[in-house]
Amino acid sequence: MSLESKLQGKITYNAWKRIGIHAHHGINIPLFSIHTKKSCGVGEFYDLLPLIDWCAKHGMDVIQLLPLNDSGQDPSPYNALSSCALHPIYLSLHALPYSDGMEVKLEPLRALNSSKHLQYEHIYQEKLRFLRKYIKRAKEDLLKEGDYEEFVTKHHWLNPYALFRVLKNKCDHTHWKHWPKELQSPSTHQLKKLYSEHSNEIEIYSIIQYLCFKQLKKVKSYAESKGVFLKGDVPILVSPDSADVWMDPTFFDFNYVAGSPPNQFNPEGQYWGFPLYNWPAMKQDHYEWWKKRLLTAAELYHLYRIDHIIGFFRLWAIPPDQDPAQGTFVPSDPAIMEAQGDRILQILAGFTDMLPIGEDLGHPPSFLQMSLNKYGIPGTKVFRWQRDWANGETFIPYESYEPISMTSVSTHDLSTVRLWWKKHPKESKAYAAFKGWKYKKELSPEYQLEILYDNHHSSSLFHINLLQEYLALVPELTWENPDDERINYPGTLKPHNWKYRYKFPLETLTTHNAFNEGIKRVLS
């Protein structure tokens, strides 16, 4: 049976047809990690334009991004203040309309392009300061633009988000549960009064979102013109201190917080602190919260990653302030888990024209794979975990992977291949034996290339890897210490989590001869 025949009749079939039922190759980046000569200390929306050109030149057609949602003072893109609002830190300030004469004010921020780690807090505050001055100057012209009112009217989440941001500023950025009682759960009458009292400040945040969406939608349109698809990231959970939870608390269960159970990779488990969903309430509302969230994402992306897709079926629920080991799965009955998750995927997977790709790493129950197969949703495969666990843990050949899947050599939550090889010699020795290689303590660029080559020639239809995995083909393009190539250590508060930056600007990387030759060899 052909792959097209296999996918026909599935609720994701139209999305597959839009993307193409054939092999796709691409890169995965945190937008905050890249920079160009025009950047203001952090990767920006329009910095994606030269990256799109570079991908198209090499026949890569997917750029995967970490979440771009507004996370306020927290650099973690998975702890956002809104499930829909974009982060103003990514605005390309040099390209703002009606900003003549303000470019000189960007030079202090551009000086931060050379810092090894993202100076998140400083850049965030300085960008907001710049935007306030800019909006004061350009507001009248911006409000005259015909599509501004349309944007405000269309996006249901915008006014609650903007009011939440205003109140959070007013309450010294404290958690909304610590606000005055009248602000924690305002009545309809009180909300109307708050919207009126803070209309000017609300308008500032609305304009910022208007500008963010306008820029990212232009990037999406440019990508389409080059035959490149943008892949967004939709985290399964939302921050307890978010506009969503504040405005619609009935959709969330505060009796527990989400995390992960102790396992071989995290012996103590993880405490995430996010609320669970009140799935009965969401079902009664026909999952409108999720539908609107996906419709917003569909304006910006062609595909999307569902982070921790097993969360639709079950979540590890921990009593507040307890150790992860004290948790339990909710729901606890496997039959209810399966029915719940299957029902949600049936409703959401084909709701937009975006193709979902599930993050299903670890050892999920068999019913998850059954649902993914039923709806034509690719899962994710990382070679170091693709093993025959029941028979000596031998590695599974790339050519045996399920085609409706995405292969990667690492993720933003894992060590890079070079670091894995160094810190897990037992596993790397086993992989060297599997490949018939002579084991070396340090992973050579030649072995790195072959691992990437295998990944891009697996039987999976999607092959997407972190940009630093390709940069490792030319060691001088990466940081000398492989630990510095790590993006995040899950379950920790390490100072450099979510502050990773590429060593060189895109202008250097995309024109580097040895690097470009390495990419050609990987994809040949």
CA distance 167 to 198: 9
- Using the Cα atoms of residue 413, residue 416, residue 417 and residue 421 in order, give the sign of their dihedral: negative
Query: CB count, 10 Å around CB of 55?
Result: 24
CA angle, residues 174, 175, 181, in degrees to nearest 5: 95
Contact 429, 372 (CB under 8 A): no
Residue 46 Cα distances to 42, 277, 365, angstroms: 11, 35, 41
The residue to which tokens 């996906």 are assigned: 294
Q: For residue 301, what are its two tokens?
A: 């992306």
CA distance 271 to 261: 9
Tell me, what's the pLDDT at 278?
98
DSSP letters along 27-65, please? EEE-GGG---TT-SSS--GGGHHHHHHHHHHHT--EEEE
Q: How remote is the C-alpha of 49 from its chain's centroid? A: 19
CA distance 432 to 415: 18
Tell me, what's the pLDDT at 140?
95
DSSP letters along 156-214, please? TTHHHHHHHHHHHHHTTT--GGGS-HHHHS--HHHHHHHHHHTHHHHHHHHHHHHHHHH
CA distance 298 to 292: 10
Contact 164, 247 (CB under 8 A): yes
The residue to which tokens 């590695």 are assigned: 395
Q: For residue 171, what are its two tokens?
A: 């309450």
Tell me, what's the pLDDT at 406?
98
CA angle, residues 46, 50, 51, in degrees to nearest 5: 95
Q: For residue 471, what are its two tokens?
A: 């940069």
Three-class DSSP labels, 296-337: HHHCCCCEEEECCHHHHCCEEEECCCCCHHHCEEECCCHHHH
How many CA atoms lie less than 13 Å away from 253 in the CB half-sphere? 18
Q: Which residue stretches of the chain have pLDDT < 70?
A: none
Tell me, what's the pLDDT at 51?
98
Residue 149 Cα distances to 138, 145, 156, 371, 462, angstroms: 16, 8, 13, 41, 39
Q: For residue 234, what are its two tokens?
A: 């939709």
Greatest Cα-to-Cα distance within the chain, rounded to the nearest angstrom: 73
Q: How remote is the C-alpha of 481 from its chain's centroid? A: 25
Tell me, what's the pLDDT at 101?
84
Contact 368, 362 (CB under 8 A): no
Contact 431, 447 (CB under 8 A): no
Q: For residue 454, what are its two tokens?
A: 């295998």
- CA neighbor of 62 nearest in space, from 25, 105, 87: 25
- CA neighbor of 498 nearest in space, from 117, 38, 41: 117
Name the phi and psi angles at 148, rounded to 5: -65, -50
Structural Rg of the chain based on CA atoms: 23
Tell me, what's the pLDDT at 521?
98
Tell me, what's the pLDDT at 363?
86
Tell me, what's the pLDDT at 263?
83
Tell me, what's the pLDDT at 224?
98
CA distance 72 to 85: 11
pTM of the model: 0.97
